[in-house]
Amino acid sequence: MNAKTIRDVDVGGRRVFLRADLNVPLDDGRITDDTRIRASLPTIVNLLERGAIVILASHLGRPKGKVNDALRMKPVADRLAQLLGRPVRMTGDALGPGVQVAVDKLRPGDLILLENLRFRADEEANDPEFAEALAGLADIYVNDAFGAAHRAHASTEGITHFLPAVAGLLMEREVDSLSRLLTKPPRPFHAVIGGAKVSGKLEVLEALLTRCQAVLVGGGMANTFLAARGLELGKSLVEEDQLENAERIVAEARRKRVRLMLPTDVVVAPQIHQRSKTKIVAVDAVPKDQMIVDIGPETRAAFADHLSKAKTIFWNGPMGVFEISQFADGTNEMARAIARRTSAKTVTIVGGGDSVAAVEQLGLADRMTHVSTGGGASLEFIEGKSLPGVEALLPADAEINFRENA
C-alpha cells in the first residue's frame, strides 16, 4: 500500500496509540468469534517486541455514545491476555484523568487497553477536541483497524491530524490483498454474491459489473432478480422496491457482456426452522406456501463448474439462510468450491461478515488467498471508494515528524 507502516518507524520507547478492530461478536458477554482479535495480534506483538508502549483502543458494538456495561472491553482484554500469554490491563474509561495516570505508568514493552471508544459520543462524531486528547496520550498513531477504516471517526481519522499516522500489519495486508481485485486481477475474474438483500449491495454489484467477467448471484438477493423476471416465489424474501434496480443490473450486465448467473433450482421450506421439511424445486415451481432458503444442487454444481475456470474469485454473502444447518449446504459447497480453486493458483478473496463467518466455521479460512476482517469496509473498498482511515495515513514517501514533547 502507499502508506508508511510500522516497519518504517523506530517505535522503541515511544508511546503508540494503536487503533485496532477488536469489535468481536458477543453472546451474553462471551466472545463467539475471536477472529478479529487474532488478526490484530501480529501488530500488537511486533510493537511490544520492539519496545513500544502500546495504548490499544477499539470500539465494541453500538453503545451509541453511552456507557453500556454489556459492551465493556473486559472480555476482549481477557481473550487477548490468553492469546498473548500475559496480563492485559484496562482503563475504566476511553479517556480521562485516570487514563492519563495509567498511561504515564507504562514502560517500554507494556500494553494497556482503553475502554470502548464508542462509550463517548465524540468518537463517532469525530470531535476534534476528543481526537486531540486521544492523540495527547501518544507519540505516534498506528491504524490496524481496517474494519473501521470506512468511517471517519476520532480514532480512525481525527487523531491523524495530531500525530504521525502509519498502518499496522493487518491494515497493510487487507489493503494489499483487496487491491488485487482492483488493479489488473488475473482473468477471468468471477464474483459470487449472496446475502439477504439487493438493496444493501447495489453499489457492489454495479462495481463488479465493471470488473468481472461473471457475477454469480445466490442467497435471498437472487430472489429479487428472479421475481424481476416474473417468477412467482411464494413466501420467499423479495424486495418489491428493488425490482427495477434488478432489471437495470441485468440490462447493464448484458450491455457489458458480463455473465450474470442466477439459480435454476432452490431449496424451499414452509418456514425458517431447523426442523422444517425441505424440498428441492426448479425456480419456476416454488409452491405458494413455501420460501426459498438455499440454492439447489443443480445451481451449486453450475456455479462450481463456472468458478473452475476463474483465475480470480471474490465472494461476498451466503447462498442461503446458513445460520440454520439444514439450509447451509449451498453456502458450504460454494466455500469448498472456492477453497479448491486456491490450490489451483486462483486468487480467492472472501469479504463480508456472514460469508467470512461461514468460511471460518468450515475451517477453510487458511485455504483462501485472503479472508477480509472488514465487512462494510471491504465492500466499500471493492466499490472503489476511498476509505477515510486509509487516506489519512502518511504516504510511503512522507517524512515522519514526532511531536516536540516526544
Look at residues 74, 57, 70, 68 and name the one whose alpha carbon lies nearest to residue 21: 57
Contact letters for ligand ADP, residues 331-370 (x by CB under 6 A): ---------------------xxxx---------------
Q: How far is the CB of 292 from ligand ADP (least distance, A)?
A: 5
**Crossing angle of helices 219-228/243-255, nearest 10°?**
90
Q: Residue 240 and residue 59: Cα distance in Å, rounded?
A: 36
Does 237 bind ligand ADP (CB under 6 A)? Our answer is yes
Contact letters for ligand ADP, residues 260-299 (x by CB under 6 A): --------------------------------xx------
Q: How far is the CB of 196 from Mg ion (least distance, A)?
A: 8
Q: Which residue has the cell 477488536?
A: 22
Look at residues 17, 89, 27 and name the one whose alpha carbon lies nearest to residue 58: 17
| Contacts with 6 (C-beta within 8 Å, 6 or more apart), sequence order | 43, 46, 47, 142, 166, 167, 168, 169
**Crossing angle of helices 297-307/329-343, nearest 10°?**
20
Neighbour tally for 342: CB within 10 Å: 18
Q: Residue 221 and residue 226: Cα distance in Å, rounded?
A: 9
Pairing of strands 291-295, 265-269: antiparallel
Site size with ligand ADP, rule: CB under 6 A: 19
Choice between 158 and 218, CB closer to Mg ion: 218
Q: Which of 353, 374, 375, 389 is catalytic?
A: 353
Q: How far is the CB of 246 from ligand ADP (least distance, A)?
A: 15
Q: How far is the CB of 59 from Mg ion (least distance, A)?
A: 17
Q: Which does 316 bind (CB under 5 to 8 A by kind): Mg ion, ligand ADP, none?
A: ligand ADP
Does 196 bind ligand ADP (CB under 6 A)? Our answer is yes
| Contacts with 82 (C-beta within 8 Å, 6 or more apart), sequence order | none
Q: Which of 74, 197, 248, 311 is catalytic?
A: 197
Q: How far is the CB of 320 from ligand ADP (least distance, A)?
A: 5
Residues 338-357 that bind Mg ion (CB under 5 A): 353-354
Q: Residue 103 and residue 100: Cα distance in Å, rounded?
A: 5
Choice between 163 and 222, CB closer to ligand ADP: 222
Give catalytic status of residue 74 as yes or no: no
Give catalytic status of residue 317 as yes or no: no
Pairing of strands 30-31, 111-113: unpaired
CB 152 within 8 A of CB 123: no
Give catalytic status of residue 184 as yes or no: no
Q: How far is the CB of 185 from ligand ADP (least distance, A)?
A: 20
Give catalytic status of residue 89 as yes or no: no
Q: Which of 36, 50, 79, 173 is catalytic?
A: 36
Q: Which does 164 bind (CB under 5 to 8 A by kind): ligand ADP, Mg ion, none?
A: none
Interface residues with Mg ion (CB under 5 A) are: 353-354
Interface residues with ligand ADP (CB under 6 A) are: 194-196, 219-220, 237, 292-293, 316-318, 320-321, 323, 352-355, 375
